[in-house]
Structure 1
Amino acid sequence: MPNQKIGTSSRLNAWVDDAVGVTAPVGFFDPLGLSANKSDETMALYREAELKHGRVAMAACLGWYVTAAGVHPAFQSTLSSDPLLAAQQLPAVGWLQFVLGCGAIEFLAEQIKLQPGYVPGDLLGAAQWVDNSDEGWVGYQNREINNGRLAMVAFMGIFVQDLKFGNYGDQIFRN
């Protein structure tokens, strides 16, 4: 039994050392130990969740400032340019459209995951064209993960700033 534990630990440490997203200056960052004794499959699911949250956060940061600029793609919308207030003003049918849109994206993502050769996080199939040993591809993956991590932190900062101080970003659009 102890040999299995050592084998699993060394296998996971090898995965951690070579994992996409383990970059300078932080290196491997898991202060809560969520990755301890996890299988490669579980770690791949964690990575996919991190990519998804990062992508959503990048879109949310952009959407926050688009809303703060007064741009509302909902035709003749009269919603506030404060994103928190605009979310409160959005009618139920708007929230229904949002939820259905998110559900459709999730449904399609789950269908893509069923395809043979699916690589976690690669919903557009780019991994079929590039080998993971290609340094350019690994660099691209590292940049996407790091930008997503930054966007998650940035969005929380933007959200808290608006919630606490009412500064929702419109200042950058003022003359």
Structure 2
Amino acid sequence: RTTSIKMSLKLATFAAALMGASAFVAPNQMGVAKSSSALKMSFENEIGVQAPLGFWDPLGLLAEADQERFDRLRTVEIKHGRISMLAILGHLVTTAGVRLPGAYDLAGDQFSSLPTGLKALSALPAAGVAQTIGFIGLIELGFAQIKEELEADCEARMDAAGWDDEKKDSKRAIELNNGRAAQMGILALMVHEQLDNNPYIINSL
């Protein structure tokens, strides 16, 4: 059973890695129809398409895609990257022993008693997990209402800082790459935690 679980985790890791990077980062060589070539050429100049991989879409997520679909996938990628960067930071901080003060339930159980990583999910009461998911849902709904306003505000702040288009694109590319690395990083931490309860393999080197 243990071997089966480990194999499933490895397959899930591989699939997630492909999905996370597939849409945006050498040309697709998986037999995508020629009719999509012109569209794909337009995506090869998008932010995030850079060395060493260039444009990489092995799963064909952008086959026959229009700009609207690309923009939707890009928004999802940025969001997942930001969440993953926060997750990496949270994992490092809690592994170092930092916890919120006080209790997390009416029974008086302390945040300091919670384990690090995925184990914290099973330690929390179901109501606590549900509240977290509900809060995330509210954030999503709220963000959808003010998305354009926030984008305009961010653009204005960059202009006020004297950033030209080249610098803006450079900063956006940096964020994309950091987010991609964080997605792979938090996935690796979770997998290693499940395999041998040692997410930070550097400690074993």
TM-score range, shorter-chain basis? 0.7 to 0.9
Residue matched to 2:78: 51
Deviation at 1:96, TM superposition (A): 2.9
Does residue 141 (structure 1) correspond to residue 172 (structure 2)? The answer is yes
Residue matched to 1:90: 124
Question: Quick one: which of 33, 52, 55 aligns to 1:28?
Answer: 55
Does residue 167 (structure 1) correspond to residue 198 (structure 2)? The answer is yes
Deviation at 1:137, TM superposition (A): 0.4
Deviation at 1:126, TM superposition (A): 1.5
Contact 1:51 1:145 in 2 (8 A): yes
TM-score for the superposition, normalised by structure 1: 0.79
Structure 2: any 5+ residue segments left out of the alignment?
A: 1-33, 103-109
Question: Quick one: which of 62, 84, 98 aligns to 1:71?
Answer: 98
Which piece of structure 1 moves more, 92-101 or 62-71?
92-101
Contact 2:62 2:70 in 1 (8 A): yes
Contact 1:65 1:170 in 2 (8 A): no
Residue matched to 1:151: 182
CA shift in 2, pair 1:65/1:108, >3 Å: same
Residue 50 of structure 1 aligns with an amino acid whose one-letter code is: E
Contact 1:67 1:82 in 2 (8 A): yes
CA shift in 2, pair 1:149/1:109, >3 Å: same
CA shift in 2, pair 1:65/1:169, >3 Å: farther
Aligned residues: 160
1:125 match: secondary structure: helix
Contact 1:54 1:149 in 2 (8 A): yes
CA shift in 2, pair 1:148/1:47, >3 Å: same
Residue matched to 2:154: 126
Does residue 80 (structure 1) correspond to residue 114 (structure 2)? The answer is yes
Deviations 1:11-55 (A, max 9, x none): x23422210110111111111111111010110000000001111
Residue 89 of structure 1 aligns with an amino acid whose one-letter code is: A
Residue 92 of structure 2 aligns with an amino acid whose one-letter code is: Y
Distance in 2 between residues matched to 1:108 and 1:144, nearest whole Å? 23
Distance in 2 between residues matched to 1:74 and 1:163, nearest whole Å? 28
Structure 1: any 5+ residue segments left out of the alignment?
A: none
Seq. identity, %: 35
Contact 2:40 2:62 in 1 (8 A): no
Distance in 2 between residues matched to 1:17 and 1:53, nearest whole Å? 21
Question: Quick one: which of 141, 145, 156 aligns to 1:107?
Answer: 141
